[in-house]
């Protein structure tokens, strides 16, 4: 009986080690999403081959039309120009004091939401949760459940906002949101999972350096062209990140050591996130608001994650962990609130003050996040690493300045020169 018991114990330990291996969990999540994506793809192809748009009838016709076909109407340049002029007129009409107060509120909201979110993210993924019965404690391991928590609250907030405010008539086929949704949840999963292997400051710098893959993905997906200063700042960012990573030493605390698995997961995050932004940029060619985009992407994200969690049996396990540790339940809920509020502040800031002001606020937020993480969790940064961080943020601010100058020059060329009377 003793050899049988030892064999069973070894088998359970081996299974547990496989379940903890990030690559195994990644493919397990992908297989869960595939059970939803593949039938959905077959249904879409079936309705398109059947020419359902002309032959379909019945109660389900409006839902199928919206999901598969949409209205296929794209917003034109004239609508974008008129919307921009309306926003500029609104900004000009309001007093400078009110605009400054709004900017302060936006900056405070973004900093509070995402700084709190960053601190909690590192707390949940790297620290243990203890109960009164046990002193050792246990770590929460399922990153996908945290992604689901964030998305379900964001979906609720976006749905309430769309229901209470007037939105443009929706035209994009709903299934097109699934591409951005899939890459979004994979990037979020990589973001949480990477904290098991790398330090939070390293992750923040990697986010700052995603300018480079975003440019590459823009060339591939959207066939965009870039100017010399964009390439120059991208090189500066890569140099700064390299300085920070190479300055990391192996004798530091294990939580701050950058491992190969962490680098691979972080690379996955950057690739998936770059695709998400470029695909969403293509979707905005349709006439839609940012909150409608938020609702559509989060709707499919909830569908994918809850389906995968239920298939793996991880949903109930996560709920049991939450019931055992009330502190974790509070942290998970606060993470979701910060994520949803942060998305709303993003849309409002860009709509009121433009992308340049938003980028400056978020660049400062990344710098504050590194300082806050080093202060709370004791991450050590060398002189060379600090210099690399400075190079990265200077390059980001240079990008913002060059982009704002480019926009001002475009506006100057669009304004017709006054005709002199003879």
Of the candidates 149, 155, 143, 153, which has an alpha carbon nearest to the alpha carbon of residue 189?
143
Q: For residue 80, name the pLDDT band (cuts at 50, 70, 90).
A: very low
Tokens linked to 8: 């069973």
Instruction: Give the separation between CA 103 and CA 345, rounded to whole angstroms.
Output: 11
On the question of pLDDT at 9 being above 50, the answer is no
Q: How confident is the model over 240-288, as pLDDT tens digits?
A: 766 766 665 444 444 444 578 888 898 898 889 878 877 887 887 887 8
Residue 97: pLDDT above 80?
no
Q: What pLDDT shows up at residue 126?
A: 85
293, 155 Cβ separation under 8 angstroms = no
Judged against a pLDDT cut of 50, whether residue 178 lies above it is answered with yes
Classify residue 286 by burial, with Cβ atoms within 10 Å: 0-12, 13-18, 19+.
buried
Of 140, 107, 75, 113, the residue nearest 325 (C-alpha) = 140
Please tell me the distance from the alpha carbon of residue 235 to that of residue 178, in angstroms, as a whole number: 33
Spatial CA neighbour of 126 closest among 15, 254, 29 = 254
The answer to whether residue 354 scores a pLDDT higher than 80 is no
Residue 93: pLDDT band with limits 50, 70, 90: very low
Reading phi first (left if > 0) and then psi (alpha if -120 to 50, else beta), residue 153 is in alpha
pLDDT value at residue 258:
54
Containing 158, the helix (H) or strand (E) segment is helix 143-164
Decide if pLDDT at 5 tops 80.
no
Query: Which pTM was predicted?
Result: 0.74
Question: What mean pLDDT is reported for the chain?
Answer: 77
Residue with tokens 């949409």: 70
CA distances 412 to 55, 324, 408, 417, Å, are 52, 62, 6, 9
The rounded distance, in Å, linking the Cα atoms of 1 and 162 is 63
Task: Assess contact for 292 and 231: CB atoms under 8 A.
Answer: no
């Amino acid at each position: 009986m003793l050899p049988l018991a030892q064999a069973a114990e070894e088998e359970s330990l081996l299974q547990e080690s496989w379940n903890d291996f990030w690559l195994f969990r990644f493919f397990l999540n992908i297989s869960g999403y595939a059970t939803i994506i593949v039938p959905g793809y077959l249904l879409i192809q079936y309705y398109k081959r059947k020419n359902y748009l002309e032959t379909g009838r019945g109660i389900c016709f409006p839902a199928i039309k919206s999901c598969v076909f949409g209205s296929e109407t794209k917003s034109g340049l004239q609508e974008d120009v008129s919307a921009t002029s309306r926003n500029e007129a609104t900004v000009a009409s309001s007093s400078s004091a009110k605009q400054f107060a709004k900017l302060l509120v936006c900056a405070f909201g973004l900093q509070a939401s995402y700084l709190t979110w960053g601190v909690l993210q590192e707390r949940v993924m790297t620290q243990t949760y203890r109960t009164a019965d046990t002193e050792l404690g246990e770590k929460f391991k399922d990153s996908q459940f945290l992604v689901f928590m964030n998305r379900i609250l964001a979906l609720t907030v976006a749905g309430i906002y769309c229901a209470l405010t007037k939105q443009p008539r929706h035209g994009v086929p709903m299934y097109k949101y699934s591409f951005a949704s899939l890459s979004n949840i994979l990037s979020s999963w990589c973001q949480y999972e990477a904290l098991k292997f790398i330090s939070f400051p390293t992750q923040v710098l990697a986010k700052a350096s995603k300018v480079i893959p975003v440019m590459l993905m823009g060339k591939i997906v959207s066939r965009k062209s870039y100017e010399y200063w964009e390439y120059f700042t991208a090189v500066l960012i890569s140099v700064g990140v390299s300085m920070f990573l190479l300055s990391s030493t192996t004798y530091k605390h294990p939580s701050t050591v950058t491992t190969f698995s962490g680098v691979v997961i972080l690379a996955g995050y950057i690739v998936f996130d770059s695709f998400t932004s470029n695909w969403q940029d293509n979707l905005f060619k349709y006439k839609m608001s940012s909150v409608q985009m938020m609702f559509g992407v989060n709707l499919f994200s909830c569908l994918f994650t809850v389906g995968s969690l239920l298939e793996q049996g991880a949903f109930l396990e996560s709920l049991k962990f939450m019931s055992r540790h009330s502190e974790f339940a509070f942290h998970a809920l606060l993470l979701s609130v910060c994520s949803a509020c942060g998305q709303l502040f993003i849309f409002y800031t860009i709509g009121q003050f433009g992308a340049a002001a938003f980028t400056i606020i978020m660049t400062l937020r990344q710098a504050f996040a590194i300082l806050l993480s080093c202060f709370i969790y004791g991450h050590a940064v060398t002189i060379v690493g600090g210099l690399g961080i400075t190079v990265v943020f200077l390059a980001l601010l240079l990008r913002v300045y060059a982009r704002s100058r480019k926009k001002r020059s475009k506006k100057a060329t669009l304004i017709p020169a006054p005709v002199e009377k003879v």
